Structure 1
Amino acid sequence: MNAHYSRLKRDVLIAGILLVLVGAGLIWKREDKGNAAPVDKAAAAEGAASANTRSSDAERPIAARGAPQWQFPVRSEAETKALQARAEAGDAAAQRELAWAYDRCWIMSLDPAGYPRQIHVMASLLPSPRAAAIIEQAGRALMKECAGLDDGQRIPMDAITLWMQQAARGGDLEAIAMTWRPNNTHALEQETLWDRVIAEGNAEALHALINVYQAEEINRRFGDVLTRDDASSALLLAACRLGKDCGPGSVFMRTMCTAAGACADASYETFLMGQLPVAEREVLQRQVEAVLQKLQRKGWASTVPLLP
């Protein structure tokens, strides 16, 4: 694998992570001069999937050999209704989780009948029968979960943003991080927000902070140990090490699979490292270690050992 290809492959995976992180409705447009709005990756993914359904290459059969033994998690209809009830009663954590549920289901809700074919098309383009089997399973799990959300009705994009904003106003730290932008009535100052995330050891909120609007603060805090090209990768892996569930069969990996085609019965770290040549892998691992050490020195006590 040459350096150019490996860099391109990793960039695609990181783009997939950001898609999972900010989703369809949580991409904030910067209005201040000189800051272009980021691309709506979820909408782009929808367009790409629609285009692929017209490709004649999509008709080749999918082998189901080597399907994983575990099953992707699915929130049942009863659990979904209970989550909605807690959110409507004012539970900020439930409001944030409901926003994420809407976020995951938004694209599928645009064309529920056509979604199985979109998944099949994506499966046909994956590099192995095992990956194809995993995305087929991930797609079925997502469809089952989304069928219990608002009785499978089309999801307005506003539902995603409004519930996440409500959770932020209710004090949920991950939601505050997720919706951060200048001049929010519920926003903390950037430095204060990072300090609070570190002090509380909130890996999900750390993960949410790793977006285009935090580049300056990331450089200020970690610029001495991170290279510009690897900053997002290292911080994302650090968040996974610190408690965000990025393991095999997780909701995170399920979404990585259906949204970005990164389908494996492995953790995100194992999957990402497997795309890199040894030299780049070692550099990235050293940077992850350095980030964990800095966070620990700043008061984050729950660092975990490196994977072999």
Structure 2
Amino acid sequence: MAAKRTFLALAATSLALAAWLTWKPTSFPAHTAQAETSAHEPAPPITAGSSQRPDSTKTSPQRAWFLALKQRADAGDPASQRLLAQAYDRCMYINPNVEQYKERIQRSIRSAETEEKATVLGYLLQHALQECAAVEDGAPIEWEDMRLLYAQAAQGGDLPARVTETVFNPQPALSKVQAAALLEEVLASNDPAAMFALGDAMGEFFGMQVAEPYTALADGELAGRAWQVAACRMGLECGPESPPASRLCLLQGWCYEGTFEQATRRRLGTDAEREALDRRVEAILRAMPPAATLSRALPFEAWG
């Protein structure tokens, strides 16, 4: 049981769909693209050079954001429940071990191969410390609390949370037909957060077994990254300080200045791989319903 919980915890961390930073959702009514847009506004910027601890965040913008988010989640708003779960996920391993976490990242900064990586790591470390000091006043977070919030959000109809549940509950595995139905629902939703969550789920399993006509959109190691980049192109906030980009650095060591897509492309080894990624992203976008594709020009403030 302990081993299973450890595996699922690592899976949850890799899904922080939201990642490590900048989550300040507003109210999220029913299940529409407009609701998803308003649910993910950027959190307050960090204070430069500061590493706030819980006792210094009682009245901080981050603290106000957290309290407002928790109030909406407690009121039963599914998207807010997911966003709160993601905040818990980002801070679950930081809050009980702030100094150890800090030292681990600082060691990475000292041993960074480039000045660029050291700079990005240092900034993101301060951001993570400030956010997590505001989440539950920096207190330890229980796995069960995070897990329950994801389940409640999924039961309430939040599509990104439902996609995330495919990793939390890998047994029984989705059949190819069920996986195709889920993929089709994500495509039809015009929901960049759901698209990114699907990419995360595929990344966990190096692709997904999906029935036709969607087999090619979910097969192989590039599938997950392609869905994530497609979500960014659909309007998900994927800038240099966004959760997708910051997670690449803090969890995977891909520390580059630039957007999530730019960092992903730099990480790929060859031009052929980058061209293959582009082809897969365009195939995903072409598979979306016309109404969803037309809305690609609309702005999304899509990470809380």
TM superposition score normalised by structure 1: 0.68
- In the other structure, the counterpart of 2:249 is 257
Q: Counterpart of 1:94 in structure 2: which amino acid?
A: S
- In the other structure, the counterpart of 1:280 is 273
Q: Is 1:146 matched up with 2:139? A: no
1:263-286 Cα deviation digits (max 9, x unpaired): 222112111212332222222212
Q: Counterpart of 1:123 in structure 2: which amino acid?
A: I
- In the other structure, the counterpart of 1:60 is none
Identical columns (%):
29
Q: How many angstroms apart in 2 are the aligned matches of 1:251 and 1:73?
A: 13
Structure 2's unaligned 5+ residue stretches are: 15-42, 47-60, 298-304
1:215-271 Cα deviation digits (max 9, x unpaired): 112x63443467624222222221221222222221222222222222222112111
Q: Is 1:135 matched up with 2:116? A: no
**How far off is 1:78 after superposition?**
1.0
Structure 2 counterpart of 1:216, from 209, 217, 220:
209
Structure 2 counterpart of 1:302, from 287, 295, 298:
295
1:174-193 Cα deviation digits (max 9, x unpaired): 11111134679xxx954443
Alpha carbons of structure 1 residues 227 and 176: separation in structure 2 relative to 1, 3 Å: closer
Q: Is 1:80 matched up with 2:73? A: no
Structure 1's unaligned 5+ residue stretches are: 1-23, 30-38, 44-70
Contact 2:218/2:224 (<8 A) preserved: no
Q: How many angstroms apart in 2 are the aligned matches of 1:123 and 1:189?
A: 44
- In the other structure, the counterpart of 1:157 is 143
* CA RMSD, 1 decimal: 3.2
Q: Counterpart of 2:191 in structure 1: which amino acid?
A: N
- In the other structure, the counterpart of 2:18 is none
Alpha carbons of structure 1 residues 202 and 231: separation in structure 2 relative to 1, 3 Å: same
Q: Is 1:104 matched up with 2:93? A: no
- In the other structure, the counterpart of 1:14 is none
TM superposition score normalised by structure 2: 0.69
Q: How many angstroms apart in 1 are the aligned matches of 2:117 and 2:215?
A: 36
Q: How many angstroms apart in 2 are the aligned matches of 1:105 and 1:296?
A: 37
Equivalent residue pairs, number: 241
Q: How many angstroms apart in 2 are the aligned matches of 1:279 and 1:115?
A: 37
- In the other structure, the counterpart of 1:3 is none
Larger radius of gyration: 1
1:195-218 Cα deviation digits (max 9, x unpaired): 33222201111221232467112x
Q: Counterpart of 2:234 in structure 1: which amino acid?
A: L
Q: Counterpart of 1:107 in structure 2: which amino acid?
A: Y
Q: Give matches, 1:151-300, under 5 Å.
A: 151-180=137-166, 181=169, 189-210=178-199, 211=201, 212=204, 215-217=208-210, 220-224=212-216, 228-275=220-267, 276-296=269-289, 300=293
Q: How many angstroms apart in 2 are the aligned matches of 1:278 and 1:254?
A: 24
